[in-house]
Structure 1
């Protein structure tokens, strides 16, 4: 009896994790991806830490000026990737990574990952589900 109950609880928990991520694609513009996520019920997670950071980079400043206050951070070297956080009604967090974040063009989706039970960007240790961005139609 208890094993049946445990199986039922476990199955419900796994089905909650299986929520589909909207049809993100590598290379789509971040503004397009952001609009798609918001239309699908994901909420941009307001990052007060970056908003109050007097030493934030110019790239982060540009995102905040655009109203993209969900920016978690940007790399200052290499590909110059930036990370953005969204959350749905069940508490899942979706992190979107962008490339081409210079001032010359529009940032594009580089990849994404889905995490369950993460309330904010400081809770990295509880990753449950990992999804890499991939090209799809």
Structure 2
């Protein structure tokens, strides 16, 4: 009788602990940290030695090259969304973009360029830098 009661209490307490852990895990995942931008900030978009891709892969081995170096990639949507946020945020005064050795298709470069032109219509300046200007970086 004593063993049965101890087992039941153990099972109930384990269930309660599991429920609390699941609730805590869901609360951590669902909470989003809101980023506070300081006044007179600069949005730095560093595309140096980066491949602009439509969608990034979830496979951690996709970024490895034969030499063992990790290839740097950024999603096009992420770049465009950040430029749009900078356009709407009064605290961001300038965009600084580094396009040294950028690897992107012409259509991706054109989308970034069009979004930068929208940003420029707000009267905020854009500073572009590149160690080497190829056709894509210049465009």
Task: Answer whether TM exceeds 0.5 for this pair.
Answer: no
In terms of Rg, which structure is larger?
A: 2
Give the structure-1-normalised TM-score: 0.25
TM-score normalized by the length of structure 2? 0.25
